[in-house]
Chain A
Amino acid sequence: MKSYIIPEFQVERDDFRCIRCEVCVRQCSFDVHRYDEEEDQVFADESKCCGCLRCVTLCPTRALVVRRNPTQIPDNYNWTMEQLMDAYKQAETGGVLLTGMGCGRELPIYWDHIVLDASQVTNPSIDPLREPMELRTWLGAKPDRLEMRGGKSRPKAEGMGPQLKLETPMMFSAISYGAISYNTCEALARAASELGTYYNTGEGGLHRDLYKYGDHTICQVASGRFGVHADYLEAAAALEIKIGQGAKPGIGGHLPGEKVSLEISRTRMIPEGSDAISPAPHHDIYSIEDLAQLIYALKEATHWTKPVSVKIAAVHNSAAIASGIVRAGADIVAIDGIRGGTGAAPTRIRDNVGIPIELALAAVDDRLRAEGIRNRASIVVAGGFRNSGDVIKAIALGADAVYLGTPALVAMGCHVCRKCYTGKCNWGIATQDPYLSKRLNPELAARRLVNMINAWSHEIMEMLGGMGINAIESLRGNRLRLRGVGLSREELDLLGIKHAGE
């Protein structure tokens, strides 16, 4: 069948600059570039180009430009080029459209319509370079009041759940070994350890060689139960039951057998080369009381020493669901918004199911406070954070901490080309191909992660200091320090903030 698909990108090569070094040929796993020895020319098959810019970035003479194909269909607001091409793809294959990364649709990004406050005259702003500025954050259940027990030898606050100590209110989101390479997992683990925060294994188990970073690891228990065994639970600092994911609420996951290498098969405890299928629901959780059973089973299995988180996708009734989760005994509620990332998801689900994290967060924080149970669990939010401005606004809306997934991958080189599901990631991140995965040096990648989180932390400190605040907990849920710009009355009410000028 003749394909009607027009390439998305154009590859332009400046022949004067090109020295025929063939870096682009070797770097492109999609085989876009080809060197013809006879003609001494490099050619490009643009139909394969995903726009990841690996070749552009590594070209030593800057001879390459990749730009959007300017070819136009007749102007039509409804039938855009993208809609057309998607329809052709399905007409040619009969398949469900697959994609990677988070939803990039033109849904409102509320962070961009929220602005922060600063001190002027009546209270002094604080310079974090000269004065203390505290970002330390504790995740876990807290009692409503302090009652110390255990005397001098083992002082402990009555009712205080096990706590995660974060030196900055940012963690790395759940990304499974399988979706990403071993080196990428190691980089995340190293960076989290150095930063005094945590990374999340996702649902793919934990490679034995990474157990040494266990104190900074949150181990996930998902519907496929891959790699869940006593040592895995024991190695973790905290456990997370994954109910849903912002990029694909309501559906499960599928790691194709070709990606299940020997190491992955050992880690996930499945036969080499077999598909790893995560069912849409947990088949032992058909309601809230079942979830409570699993929460307590995990607590029992780890001798009540580790906090248990429950992660859900942000959907219409998140507030009520979160309330149930807290009452079911979770120490942390993690909520993943519609812009949250993924290694693979059906395009239509990613782009159409779920709600923006800003609204879900505001609703959940409000509900837990209205029910007087906000102390009983921490709120961690994920899905769509791009910079420290987004993070600090999330904290002011009521989050205890945030999960960063895509920003972490970007720090390591990801260019958000959305082809994670192909396993051919040119940046060595979302791949199991040894030729590609060795491109990511765990030490250097960890350095990039640490740098970025440190930079964001500094920026958060500057913004806190500007507000005359020197501890993050004084901003958490402090929505008076936020104002909306260009939002409707209903949106402002849902977010619990005033409009700028009010």
Chain B
Amino acid sequence: MLRHVLFRDDKDFAGCSIFGMMDRGGGRTNGEPVMRAIANMKERSNGLGGGFAAYGIYPDRADLYALQLMFDDHCARRETEEFIRSGFELAEAEPIPVRSTPEISDPPLLWRYFVQPMPSCLREDEGEDDYVVRAVMHVNVNIDGAFVFSSGKDMGVFKGVGFPEDVGRFFRLEEYEAYTWVAHGRFPTNTQGWWGGAHPFNILDWSVVHNGEISSYGINRRYLEMFGYICTLHTDTEVIAYAVDLLLRRHGLAIEDLAMVMAAPLWDHIDRMPREQRARATALRQIYGSLLMNGPFSIIISNRTRMIGLTDRIRLRPLVAGVAGRMIYISSEEAPMHLIEEGLERTWIPTGGEPIVAELEEIAIQRVGAGR
């Protein structure tokens, strides 16, 4: 739990830019192109939040969970480290390398820990992933001044207060090589200079960047609380990250199902579907109605093997996709794709609720070691 929450609003109210790029062949690029791309949409953010998720950046420690944390002070760090040591084998602990730049002020303490859950600490029937989720919830809710902002394997989130390209330079992203990059520039209306509130939001290797405001946030959050997810950040993006984890990882749904839950087709549409599809779509809305994300959004959801773009059911926020060979791009605007990619073959605008799914090729999944 981070301390500096200035305003106790229901949630944040933000307009934003989002950008994602994936090399389906697993080839890695450094952080320069993604920083240029997100900088090109500068007028969609206002310098109060920027961030990146990068996949494939820790190949040497790809089997370990990379916990990246923010601390308000060393006291919070020591308490958190004690907690981590009590439940995890700690392979490495280090400050996240940053460079001091004039644009970024007052950063929290930024550390990362490469860890493996201690088998003896797992509850019966509990997988390692569930254990890590529980540990992350514990730190974020119970440890004063500490916040886990990413917790996946072979990936990391880098975020803070500032324009995204400034945050990227602060974190020296040009030194990281990733096959999937996702970026976010934030335009919040409730101006909290608050590092935890920047995007992406992450749980395990799922990351979410989001442009929009979820009008259904209140019930989305209450529903997720029934499944042990505790929303600590008062941001609607956090609920999307947890919803993705619940639906795809814990409930084993397909991405199409996820889209039908979060941006559900209209009943008029469902009533005209073929029998089997109708039964499934109806059941999804009956069971997961509380996870319908109502209100304007476009989001990019990513994990180690996939990158998914989705807009709300009546498409109130922009999203455009592009292809260049093995590269797939998803963006709020088309211009940044042209800026960083000369060989863009095709771009298209998906309809509301229609997911754009980029998947790592089988061979690349093996190469980067991201098999499940």
- Report A's interface with B, CB cutoff 8 A: 119, 121-124, 126, 131-132, 134, 136, 138, 142-146, 148, 152, 155-157, 160, 163, 369, 372, 374-375, 467-471, 473-481, 498, 502
Q: Which of B215, B253, B267 contacts A123, CB < 8 Å?
A: B215
Q: A482: nearest residue on chain B (CB-CB)?
A: B218
A479 to B222, CA, bound (A): 9
Q: Are B314 and A122 in contact (CB under 8 A)?
A: no
Distance (Å) between the CB of A480 and the closest chain B CB? Answer: 3
Residues from chain B with a CB closer than 8 A to the CB of A478 are 216-219, 222
Given contacts A146-B287, A477-B218, 13 further A-B contacts (CB under 8 A): A122-B14, A122-B189, A122-B213, A145-B251, A146-B284, A148-B280, A155-B275, A155-B276, A375-B287, A469-B215, A474-B295, A478-B216, A478-B219
CB distance from B274 to the nearest CB of A (A): 10
Cβ of B218 and Cβ of A479 under 8 Å apart? yes
User: Is the beta-carbon distance between A119 and B215 smaller than 8 angstroms?
Assistant: yes
Render B275-287 as a binary contact track against A, CB cut-off 8 A, 1 for contact.
1100110011111
Give A146 to B247 CA distance when docked, in angstroms.
9
Say yes or no: A160 contacts B267, CB within 8 Å. Answer: no
Asked if B215 and A157 make an inter-chain contact with CB atoms under 8 angstroms apart, the answer reads no
Bits for B189-218, please: 1 = Cβ < 8 Å to A, else 0.
100000000000000000000001101111
- Lowest 4 CB-CB distances: which A-B pairs, in order? A480-B218, A473-B289, A474-B216, A474-B294
Residues of A within 8 A of B15 (CB): 122
B275, closest chain A residue (CB):
A155
B225 in the interface, Cβ–Cβ < 8 Å? yes
Task: Note all chain A residues with C-beta closer than 8 A to B11.
Answer: 480
Would you call A469 and B283 a contact (CB within 8 A)?
A: no
Residues of A within 8 A of B215 (CB): 119, 123, 467-469, 474, 481
Docked pose: A467 CA to B222 CA in angstroms: 18
What are the interface flags for B152-189 relative to A under an 8 Å C-beta threshold, 1 for contact and 0 otherwise? 00000000000000000000000000000000000001
Question: Which chain A positions have C-beta within 8 A of B332?
Answer: none
Whether B257 pairs with A146 at a CB distance below 8 angstroms is yes
Contacts of A121 in B (CB 8 A): 189
B314 touches A470 (CB 8 A): yes
Contacts of B280 in A (CB 8 A): 146, 148, 155
The CA of A131 and the CA of B217, in the complex, are separated in Å by: 21
Known contacts A132-B266, A474-B294, A478-B219: A123-B213 contact under CB 8 Å: yes
In the complex, what residues of A have CB within 8 A of residue B259's CB?
A: none
B124 contacts the other chain (CB 8 A): no
Chain B: minimal CB distance from A379 (Å) = 13
Provide 25 A-B residue pairs closer than 8 Å at the C-beta atoms, listed in order of the A residue.
A123-B213, A124-B316, A131-B314, A143-B287, A145-B287, A146-B280, A146-B283, A155-B275, A155-B276, A156-B279, A160-B286, A369-B222, A372-B227, A375-B226, A375-B287, A467-B215, A468-B215, A468-B296, A470-B314, A473-B285, A474-B216, A474-B292, A477-B222, A478-B219, A481-B215
Instruction: Return the contact of B279 from the options A119, A122, A155 (Cβ within 8 A).
Output: A155
Question: Which residue of B189, B216, B276, B279 contacts A469 across the interface (Cβ within 8 Å)?
Answer: B216
Q: Are B296 and A124 in contact (CB under 8 A)?
A: yes
Determine the distance from Cα of A138 to Cα of B267 in the docked complex, in whole angstroms.
Answer: 12
- Name the contact of A152 in the complex, choosing from B267, B276, B286, B292 (C-beta under 8 A): B276
Q: Is the CB of A481 within 8 A of B218?
A: yes
User: Does B8 touch A at the CB level, under 8 Å?
Assistant: yes
Residues from chain B with a CB closer than 8 A to the CB of A157 are: 279, 283, 286-287
B288 contacts the other chain (Cβ, under 8 Å)? yes
Chain A: which residue is nearest B267 at the CB level? A136
How many angstroms between the C-alpha atoms of A131 and B316 in the bound complex? Answer: 12
The interface residues of chain B lying within 8 Å CB-to-CB of A134 are 266-267
Check if B213 sits within 8 Å of A148, measured CB to CB. Answer: no
Contact A471 B268 (CB under 8 A): no
A471 to B288, CA, bound (A): 13
What DSSP secondary structure best describes chain A's contact surface?
loop
Q: A369-B226, A470-B314 are in contact. Are A142 and B286 (CB under 8 A)?
A: yes
Whole-angstrom distance between the alpha carbons of A498 and B218 in the complex? Answer: 12
Are B290 and A476 within 8 A (Cβ)?
yes
> Does A132 contact B268, Cβ atoms closer than 8 Å?
yes
Within 8 A of A (CB), among B288-337: 288-290, 292, 294-296, 313-314, 316
Partner among A152, A372, A475 whose Cβ is within 8 Å of the Cβ of B226:
A372
Interface check B58, CB cutoff 8 A: no
| CA distance in complex: A502, B267 (Å) | 36
A470 touches B294 (CB 8 A): yes
The residue that B296 contacts in the complex, of A123, A477, A479, with Cβ under 8 A, is: A123
How near does chain B come to A322, taking the closest CB pair, in angstroms? 16
Whole-angstrom CA separation of A157 from B189 in the bound complex: 42
Q: How would residues 98 to 117 of chain B score, 1 for a CB under 8 Å from any chain A CB and 0 otherwise?
A: 00000000000000000000
| Among B13, B212, B280, B290: residue with most chain A CB under 10 A | B290
**Distance to closest chain A CB from B250 (angstroms):** 8
Interface residues of B in 208-242 (CB under 8 A from A): 212-213, 215-219, 222-223, 225-227
Q: Is the CB of A471 within 8 A of B294?
A: yes
CB of B10 within 8 Å of the partner chain: yes
Q: Are B217's CB and A480's CB within 8 A?
A: yes
A481 surroundings in chain B (CB, below 8 A): 215, 218
List residues of chain B with CB within 8 A of the CB of A138. 286
Taking the complex as formed, is B48 at the interface, i.e. its CB lies under 8 A from any CB of chain A?
A: no
B18 contacts A by Cβ under 8 Å:
no
B70 within 8 A of partner (CB): no
A148 to B250 alpha-carbon distance, docked (Å): 16
A375 to B223, CA, bound (A): 9
- The reply to whether A471 and B287 contact each other, CB–CB distance below 8 Å, is no
- Determine whether B264 belongs to the interface, using a CB cutoff of 8 Å to chain A: yes
Instruction: Kindly provide the distance from the CB of B212 to the nearest chain A CB, expressed in whole angstroms.
Output: 7
On whether the beta carbons of A471 and B264 are closer than 8 Å, the reply is yes
Give complex CA distance A481, B257 in Å: 27
Min CB–CB distance A238 → chain B (angstroms): 16
Which residues of the partner chain B approach A470 to less than 8 Å between Cβ atoms? 294, 313-314
Q: Is the CB of A469 within 8 A of B14?
A: no
Quick check: B286 and A163 within 8 Å, CB to CB? Answer: yes
Contacts of B295 in A (CB 8 A): 123, 468-469, 474
- Shortest Cβ distance from A375 into B: residue: B287
Known: A131-B314, A372-B226. A160 touches B294 (CB 8 A): no
CA of A423 to CA of B276 in the docked complex: distance in angstroms? Answer: 53
* Residues in B whose Cβ lies below 8 Å from that of A469: 215-216, 294-295
Q: Which residues of B contact A142 (CB under 8 A)?
A: 286-287
What is the bound-complex CA distance between A372 and B11, given in angstroms? 24
Of all chain A residues, the one with the shortest Cβ separation from B12 is A122
The interface residues of chain A lying within 8 Å CB-to-CB of B283 are: 146, 148, 156-157, 160
How long is the Cα–Cα vector from A155 to B286 in the complex, in angstroms? 15
What CA separation (Å) do A471 and B286 show in the bound complex?
12
